[in-house]
Amino acid sequence: MSNAFELNASARNDLGKGASRRLRRLADLIPAIIYGGASAPESISIPHKDILKATSNEAFFSHIITLVIDGKPQQVVIKALQRHPAKPRIMHADFQRVDSTHTITVKVPVHLINEDKCKGVKIGGGSILKTMSELEIICLPQDLPEYLEIDMTDIGVGESVHISQIKFPKGVSSVDLAHGHDSDHSVVAVQAARGGATEGAEA
């Protein structure tokens, strides 16, 4: 993982909806909570501009994050983010503590590569339909991948790639597959063009 994310935060004792509104309105901070591990849940506040900038990077959601709370660092992953329904504002964040000796469950993005070389598109005249943009995985913190890749080169019209066909990095496994064969969902497929193949494709 090439990116490093660090956010400064402060502990907060003034809790409740009214306190959260004051944080956002008067100090441009957002309320957040850290939970997990042997410690009790901890309420914190984070500068809105800092977390807004961090969340603009897709990698933020699949990386270990360092939260520096009143000068003391903690390793966490983000578990939930509440956004304003109409404005480009973050309202609340949930973080989970991580321990190098314990596995974590995280959603990571799925990236398609070689879409321009896809057999089903170039030869068959089909189109790529991505049905899952992220997958939930389980791994140790040090094995957390930034994303998972699917090579589209040899995928033909009418074919799909299921979770079980993805090459997971060493130490990483799928949460869905742990639930059995019925959870081996399709992640991406190549659909036939409407009206059938074109003359060029048939030729």
Q: What is the pLDDT of residues 92-130, one digit of tens each?
A: 999 999 999 999 999 999 999 999 999 999 999 999 999
Angstrom distance (rounded) from CA 81 to CA 91? 8
- Per DSSP, 68 falls in state E
Residues 95 and 33 sit within 8 Å (Cβ to Cβ): yes
Q: pLDDT-derived band of residue 194, with 50, 70 and 90 as boundaries?
A: confident
- Out of 3.10.20.740, 2.40.240.10, 3.40.309.10, 3.50.50.60, the CATH code matching 5-97 is 2.40.240.10
pLDDT, tens digit (0-9, with 9 covering 90-100), for 161-178? 999 999 999 999 999 999
Structural domain boundaries of the chain?
5-97, 104-202
What Å distances lie between residue 3 and 54, 58, 99, CA to CA? Answer: 11, 11, 19
Q: 3-class SS at 109?
A: strand
| CATH superfamily of this structure's domain 104-202 | Ribosomal protein L25, C-terminal domain (2.170.120.20)
Confidence class of residue 199 from pLDDT cuts 50, 70 and 90?
very low
| pLDDT of residue 195 exceeding 70 | no
Question: Can you tell me the distance from the alpha carbon of 7 to that of 64, in angstroms, rounded to the nearest whole number?
Answer: 11
pLDDT of residue 133: 96
pLDDT of residue 42: 94
With a cut of 80, say whether residue 23 has pLDDT above it.
Answer: no
Q: Is the pTM of this model over 0.75?
A: yes
